[in-house]
Structure 1
Amino acid sequence: MGNRAYNFNAGPAALPLEVLERAARELVEYQGIGMSVMEISHRSKEYEALNDETQALIRELFGVPSGYKVLFLQGGASTQFAMIPMNLLTPGKSGSYVLTGAWAEKAYKEAKLFGDVSVAASTEADKFMRMPAVSEIVVDPNTAYLHLTSNETIEGTQFAEFPDTGSVPLIADMSSDILSRPVDVSKFSLIYAGAQKNLGPSGVTVVIVRDELVEASPKGLATMLRYDIHAKNNSLYNTPPAYSVYMMNRVLQWLRDNGGVAAMEKRNIEKTDLIYNAIDNSGGFYRGAAQPGSRSRMNITFRLASEELEKQFIKESEQQGFVGLKGHRSVGGLRASTYNAVPLESCKALAEFMSDFQRRNG
């Protein structure tokens, strides 16, 4: 494939080239059935097999123990911000939230619509440029659950370790770093992730949830917003986003064939070190935005001496085939998103461009 951009978009984000080429070959006819996977019934044996295999791949790659359901839902992680309190926030209890940036705040604000919520820790005083230490997170034993965001895409911060919440269910939005590193899933009662960063295209949201939480869904809740309904129907209660699930299946196969999650972590460290080293060895020309101990392996945020210089950096980088390096409008600066499918070559090219840009403007 000629002329592929260096894609550093924050999401929808880069997909593996091999997966796109395979999808192109399989687009018109899926497994000899004379139709595209987009045209078949979600009640067909072919789709049911795809649905089951995709769940099994997530279990295998992420090490999901027994006692959990793997659900494929719609509405993105943003719908989970509401579904979690709707299903789990019982009267007399509160939901605890760790406030670490834009996405954690969105989840917190949404939960406020449905019941009592409290803040278990916040790094707002540090402009959300760090993650709280595990010791800073105060877990009230009467809380219904503790919610955290494992990686903040906008600020470029990531939890290095997770708190032990004892009997309080731990819930994590892992939209931007799921399957980028090994995680002890048994520590969590619910993990959710929109697909469009590490798992595939947008349109499907993965929810990995303990059986006892599934059973807690209130019967008075709208049918489509109940975990128990989706679990009982194997995520086929209504028409699923079939093509997004198919693409996720192919991305998961690619991940498995490339050494699984441990190999991804090794690659992600190697990739991001190239860019973080370009920042740290620039003598202050580039400044990392996140505090070093909280730096993300998925979203690298950095600044230059002036906004004019940042605009010039973005303009010149676009001319060189780099896409998506402008920081989020709420924090400004620059951001390189280096999800699993971003190749090492793209990160090498960016590090070289950064050095060259510094030479010409330093």
Structure 2
Amino acid sequence: MDNESFIIEQNFDTWNEFVASQSINKHCLLTLHVNIRSMLKNFDHLEYTILNCKKTVHLIVITEANINDNCKQLYQLENYNMYTELRNHRKGGGIILYIHNSLEFNRSNSCTYNFECITGEIKTLYNYKLGICAVYRPPEKSIPRFIDELTVLNRKYAHNNNLMIIGDMNIDLKKINMQRNQYLNKLSELGDIITKSCIDHIFMRSVGNCDVHTAVINIAPADHCITGCLIKDNTLFTPSPTANKTVTKLNHQKLKLELKNIDWSSTLEMKNPNDILNFIIDKFTLAYEKCKYSVKLNYDSKRKKCMWIDKKLIYMFGMQSRYNPALQVNRFKYI
């Protein structure tokens, strides 16, 4: 496979320019990554970028945070949950993951030796799931060992799952060499490389009907460009495969009449139990076939994704003001 065939990137001067170029709605997932070099020096720039973004940034990945656990509370972002993998005994490195509080995030334990990482799974309000692997590889760490360890780590995500590997890998994709090719070939086994900023990469494996848009942002808090990714799950917009589904229903009243009109007296003359059983099955099957009918489901209503909500249930909710006082007086009457 030609490595260059699966490297795609778009360049913008500012983060808001990238956001404005996309059609973003509540079904999208917007991600930002930046190697910030030092949270102490550049946190204000990051906070300004997030607060002035016209759309919600759901996932923020920070590499080379260069802080420790003792002071991480100073760098909280409003409406975000903070997850960290920091160095407490030496300077440099460190990863921070900000997850918007509208999302669920289940962090998984990951023990690595050649890079720092935070892994887990994000789940949106609309049940879109995305495996996350935020990475920082220190320049002095072995690249071949990093590649092998990263590949093994992410094999736990099945090929039918969405996966994003994002961060500072310290592998320059603009330099054509054996290690660079090995890195791309290994990741191609998991999916596709989407975008790059020399040494800061976003790898995205998207399954199903999803659009993925990525970008490199030139103006950034430090000397690394910002990388961004927008995921849009189109399954939330396209008609459901069952939109025109036809279901079979049964006319119970008609079935009762059919069964009532059957002459069952002939079973009294049957001596073999199997003959009696087959007779009953045949009569029931014939009656059922006469009484069933087909109905095409209408998904055009406002409750198209909640077919269990019917008129009876809506009526009961409307009557709750009557039920509640009576229930408070004698709750055992209604149990």
TM-score class normalised by the smaller sequence: under 0.3
TM-score between the two structures when normalised by the length of structure 1 = 0.26
Higher relative CO (CA 8 A, sep ≥ 6), structure 1 or 2?
Answer: 1
TM-score between the two structures when normalised by the length of structure 2 = 0.28
More helix by share: 1
More strand by share: 2
